[in-house]
Chains A and B, each alone.
Chain A
C-alpha cells in the first residue's frame, strides 16, 4: 500500500461516521488532547454534517446549562451537617434508649420530643465549627453554575498530589486571613517588581478585569522549602489563587490542564514556558477552566507580561 492510499487515516481518527460523532462529543466535552482536538476540528471544517452536529451539541449544552438546579435550603443543610456532629456519649445513649421506647409505644408525646432532638441536634454549634462563609459561597456557586466546561482527560500523577495539597492549604489560609494578598494592586507593574524584590522571581500577571477576573494582588507562598509567587484574582465572590512555580529542568511538561482536587478545592495545573502553574479556587470547574483559558490567552497576546522577571 502506498502512503497516499493511507492518507485519510493519517489523522488517526475513526472512519466510521458513528464513531466520528463520538469524537465530536469528546471534543465538546474537552476530553481530547490538543492534537486530537485539532484533527477533529480539521475534519469538521471539511464536513458540514460534522460541523452541524457540533453546532447542535453546543446548543444542547447551553440549553442544559439553563436547567435550574435544586436549591439547598438552610434547613436541609443543617440537617445534613448535623450528621457529622460530635455526639455527647450520654446524649447519644439517651437518644438510643428513647428510640427503642418509641418503637415499643409510638404514641407517647415525650418520646416524640426525643425524636425531634435526634433528627436536628444543635445546628447552631455546628455553624461555629468551621468557616461558614467559605462553605456557603461554594454551595451558592455550585447551585448557580451548571456544568459544561472542559475537563481534561489526563492522569494526575501522584508526585503532584502533595504539592496540590500544599497549594490548597495556602489557598485556605489566605481565605481565613485578614487579607488574601501581601501586596494589593491590580497593576502588574506594581505586583511584579514587589515579587521580584522579595523572592527574585515573578510570574506573568495580566489584569483580566474586562474578562471578569480582577487582579487583587500577590503574595508569597512557601511550598515545601521554597518561596513561590502567588497571584490572587477575584471572580464574582470567589478568589482564585494562581501559584507559579519556576519550572525545573527535569520537570516534565504538562501542556494541558490537569484535573485535580485537594482539600475540597478544585485545581488546574499546567505548564507554560518558564513556569508551572497551579490555579485553585472554590469556584466551580467551568469558571476555573475559563480563567485558565483566558490567562493563557492573555500571556500569548502580551508576551511582555509573560517574561519570567
Chain B
C-alpha cells in the first residue's frame, strides 16, 4: 500500500473515532490532558498497523489500541496506581449491590443524578468494572466486541457489566447513604 493510500485509510478509519478514543482514555487514565497524550500514542500505533486492519468495526479496533496504550502509559508514568487488570480474585471482594428495596422511586433518583455525580461514581468503580461499563455505556460497543477486546468470555463481560452497573445504581440511587 502506498503512503498516500495509508494516509487516506487513516483518515477514514481513525479520525472519525477520536472523540470515543479520548473518552475511553480519559476514563482509564483519569484525566483529560493525559488522555490526549495516550490517544496520540495510540494513533501512532494505529498508523503503523493500519495496513493490517482487516476491515470490520474500525471503532472497536481503535479502542483496543487505545486501551493497550492507556495501560502501557500508566505502567510507565504512574506505576503505583496501576491495578492488576483481570485479577478476578480482587473483583470478588467487591460485594454485589443488595437486591431488596427495588422500588421505582430509586429509578427516578438515578435518572435525576447530575452528570458530576455520575462521573464521580464512574471514577470510583474498580478498574475492570469501570472499563467494561465505559466501553458499553459510553463508547457503545457490543458484548462481543468488549469480550474480544478484553480477551475474556462474553459471560465475564456480562457479569462485570452487571456488577459495575449495580454499584453505580446503588450510589446514584441514594442507598449508600445510611438513613
Contact = CB atoms under 8 A, between A and B. Distances in A.
Interface in A54-86: 55-72, 76-77, 79-81, 83-86
Interface residues of chain B: helix, strand, loop or mixed (majority): helix
A53 B102 contact: yes
Interface string A147-168: 1110101000000010000000
A95 interface: no
A52 to B, nearest CB: 4
Q: Which of A70, A71, A79 neighbours the largest number of chain B CB atoms within 10 Å of its CB? A: A70
Q: Which of B12, B35, B57 neighbours the largest number of chain A CB atoms within 10 Å of its CB? A: B12
Q: Which of A53, A79, A148, A282 neighbours the largest number of chain B CB atoms within 10 Å of its CB? A: A53
A56 B140 contact: no
B172 interface: yes
A72 B56 contact: no
B138 A64 contact: yes
A1 to B, nearest CB: 28
Interface in B153-179: 158-159, 161-162, 165, 168-169, 172-173
Contacts of B158: 22, 25-26
Nearest to A75: B36
A237 B32 CA distance: 28
Given A21-B162, A29-B161, 5 more contacts: A22-B159, A59-B111, A130-B8, A139-B15, A259-B57
B15 A153 contact: no
A301 B139 CA distance: 33
A128 to B, nearest CB: 12
A264 B43 contact: no
Q: B interface, how many residues as a size bin?
A: 35 or more
B138 to A, nearest CB: 6
A262 interface: yes
Given A60-B172, A67-B119, A129-B7, A282 B104 contact: no
Interface of B: 3-4, 6-8, 10-20, 22-23, 26, 32, 35-36, 39-40, 43-44, 47, 55-59, 96, 99, 102-104, 106-108, 110-111, 113, 115, 118-119, 122, 133, 136-144, 158-159, 161-162, 165, 168-169, 172-173
Given A52-B107, A57-B165, A59-B110, A80 B15 contact: yes
A142 interface: yes
Q: Which of A26, A60, A72, A85 neighbours the largest number of chain B CB atoms within 10 Å of its CB? A: A60
Contact of B11 (A57, A76, A129, A151): A129
A94 interface: no
A192 interface: no
A49 B98 CA distance: 12
Interface string A28-63: 010100000000000000001100110111111111
10 contacts: A29-B136, A52-B104, A56-B173, A60-B110, A60-B172, A61-B137, A67-B119, A70-B35, A79-B40, A151-B142
A68 B162 CA distance: 23
Q: Which 10 A-B pairs have the closest CB atoms?
A: A147-B140, A52-B102, A84-B10, A59-B111, A59-B110, A59-B107, A55-B107, A84-B7, A151-B142, A70-B22
Interface residues of A, number: 63
A56 B110 contact: yes
Nearest to A137: B16
